[in-house]
Amino acid sequence: MPHGAAPPTPAPSPCQGEGWGEVHAAACAAGRTGPPPAPSLARRGWPLRALAGLLLLAAAALAQSTPDVTVSAEVKPEDCSVGDTVAYLVTVTARDSVARKLEATPPAFSGLETLADPATRQTDQTGQVVFQWSFSLRARTAGTLTIPPFTVSWRAPGGRQPRQAASNPVTVRVRPGGDEHDIRPPKALVDVPDVLRPYRLLLWFLGASALLALFAVGLGWSARVAARRPLPAPEPPPPCHDIALRRLLELEAEGLIEQGRVDAYHIRLSRIVRDYLAERYGFNAVESTTSEIARRLYDDGVASELVALCREVLYGCDLEKFAAHRPTAPEMTALLGRARQLVTRTAASAHGGSR
């Protein structure tokens, strides 16, 4: 080594440096050198196995917490008047293992009248079945009506005791019939362009000439009639109830029920009844609402049971038009029978007089 030169720096030992564990230090002490041993695959994979186990436990707990059967109920609309129709809808979701063993128990509809058997629908989904019931109800009593829960019972596979599930109770607020909510709002105004304004003077001249010509023709015709022998008085028209009964027979003979023309059938039936009421009681029943007609009949002293029968017939016709209700053929035939009963009973109550 030259004089004055620094001594060489010793090379670092392979057993020194950061990141060396106690195991590798013991290996160096025993005379083994080299990088620290890598951890085994078994020691590196234990977090993944622990996470997979937790996920399996969570899935099992979720499957056990899901009930076999769920029931829900609702009513549409929630506000109505006496005589209106509401829909009570029930949805039941059940697992495949118990779906074929369900027994449904409808509630008692206090203050409501069931119009027909409920419509049912079944939908198969993955691992479960959905049942739906739709009840058509008519409000008979004013006030807040509560429909009790809809109950479903079943027996689980391998179980001895039956199990039950119930829906939520629902309420319906029913107003007395004939209030201001039945009055239809006024229609919007429509601007009509005056396309005849340039020809207004010409039209006035033509109209005046036509009136003068008609006046002259009328004078000549009246003079000829006066010169003849008076004609016999024409026969009086048939009573209005006879005309209404004949129109009901013609409607029944047309076979609209058998043809499935539900809309045309109810429009014709409503027009026949309204024309008869207008002729019998002397007011514009064709352009009046059902509630306005009922109030007019009350004011004219018509018996309350006949007014209720009139509301039932007209509401039955309005239900198909405004509530999307599709009545069955027996219901349509029964509604025609009630309309015929309304005509005959109101004609008998008039003591033989017709308007």
pLDDT in tens, 308-321: 999 989 888 887 66
Burial of 290 by CB count in 10 Å (0-12 exposed, 13-18 middle, 19+ buried)? Answer: buried
- pLDDT (0 to 100) of residue 35: 54
Q: Enumerate the domain spans of the chain.
A: 22-63, 69-179, 240-349
Structure pTM? Answer: 0.36
Which among 314, 319, 271 is positioned nearest to 292, based on CA atoms? 314
Q: Pick the most confident of 54-68, 109-123, 330-344.
A: 330-344
List the end-to-end C-alpha distance of the chain, in Å, as a whole number.
146
Q: Which one has a higher pLDDT value, 203 or 49?
A: 203
Residue 184 tokens read as 């239809």
Candidate ranges 52-61, 172-181, 220-229, 269-278; pick with highest mean pLDDT: 269-278
Residues 6+ apart with CB under 8 A from 194: none
Please state the rounded mean pLDDT for residues 47-75: 69
Query: What value does the mean pLDDT take over residues 256-267?
Result: 87
Assigned CATH for 69-179 = 2.60.40.740
Separation in Å, CA 343 to CA 247, 273, 282, 308: 11, 8, 15, 13
Instruction: Give the model's pLDDT for residue 37.
Output: 54
Res. 184 pLDDT band, cuts 50 70 90: low
**pLDDT number for residue 41:** 45
Q: What is the pLDDT of residue 191?
A: 73
* Confidence at residue 4, expressed as pLDDT on a 0 to 100 scale: 47
DSSP secondary structure string for all residues of 203-267: HHHHHHHHHHHHHHHHHHHHHHHHHSPPPPPPPPPPPHHHHHHHHHHHHHHTTHHHHT-HHHHHH
Amino acid at 92: V
| pLDDT of 166 strictly over 80 | yes
Residue 69: closest CA among 149, 129, 136: 129
Nearest to 322 by CA among 80, 135, 91, 114: 80
Model confidence at 23, in pLDDT bands (50, 70, 90)?
A: very low
- The predicted-structure confidence for 192-249, as pLDDT tens digits, reads as follows 777 777 777 888 888 899 998 988 888 888 777 767 766 566 778 888 889 989 998 9
pLDDT score of 176 more than 50: yes
Residue 31 confidence (pLDDT) above 60: no
Quick one: 142 exposed, middle or buried, by C-beta within 10 A (0-12, 13-18, 19+)? Answer: middle
